[in-house]
Amino acid sequence: MIKPINDWVFVKRDADIIGAGDIVASDKAHAKNQFATVVVSASDQFSDGDRVILPCYSGAFVDVVRDGVEYVALKGKLIIGIFKGGDVRPVNGYIRIRKCENDHLRDESGAINWFLTENGIEETQWVEILDYAEDVDTYPRECIGWFSIAPELDESLQRIGYSRDYMLKAEELQFITDGE
């Protein structure tokens, strides 16, 4: 029996990502899956059976093998999201953002107010705020749907699977705008 204490959470990761579609990655390129199920938790924030998202970049995990099953032990404050009602909800000071299709913010007439480049989605730094954790008190709820520029090539920018959505610590954003 495993019983975590002091905000520790034991999870069982989903199977490792070994490729996408018909492409199979080499053994060295296999990535640990960031999706997991809570097995047992000492944190009030998570319940047994919750589906959670783990950060891609963190050295604070402890692998535990018990009865041939591999678990990951981590502090509850390191978990970045939880699946609730078919949606991903950020937790622990994270916000969920989506990269914009281009770097234009337009006014009511359609004129470009902010312009950077015509680069594709992987090049843009503009993001739309989709949701934020309950413990983020920086923005009022009305700011969902607003925009900002997110840091590029930063370990704090956590992609959610293969989607266009990311998780980011709220304090990483320098400003927000409604586009007007």
97 and 168 inside one domain: yes
* Cα dihedral 148→152→154→158 (10° resolution): 60
- Quote the CA–CA distance of 146 and 38 in Å, as a whole number: 32
Would 84 be classed as within a structural domain? no
Domain boundary among 25, 51, 79: 79
Assigned domain for 86 exists: no
pLDDT of 46: 93
CATH of the domain at 45: 2.30.33.40
Show which of 79, 103, 129 is a domain's final residue: 79
d(CA 41, CA 84): 17
Are residue 122 and residue 151 in the same domain, yes or no? Answer: yes
What was the pLDDT predicted at 178?
A: 81
**Domain-located, residue 158:** yes
Indicate if 96 and 167 belong to the same structural domain: yes
Please list, residue by residue across 16-49, b when 16 or more beta carbons sit within 10 angstroms of its beta carbon and e when fewer do.
ebeeeeeeeeeeeeeeebbbbebbbbebebbeee
pLDDT tens per residue across all 180 residues of the chain: 667 888 899 898 887 655 555 666 555 544 567 889 999 899 889 999 999 998 876 656 777 777 777 888 889 999 999 998 778 899 999 999 988 765 555 566 655 555 444 444 445 677 889 999 999 988 778 889 888 888 765 667 888 877 778 899 998 888 888 876
Residue 178 covered by a domain: no
* Domain presence at residue 127: yes
Query: By residue range, what is the domain housing residue 32?
Result: 8-79
My answer on whether 75 and 96 are in the same domain is no
For residue 135, tell me if it sits in a domain: yes
Domain count, the chain: 2
Identify the pLDDT of residue 80. 92
Query: Does residue 180 fall inside a structural domain?
Result: no
Q: Tell whether 99 and 167 lie within a shared domain.
A: yes
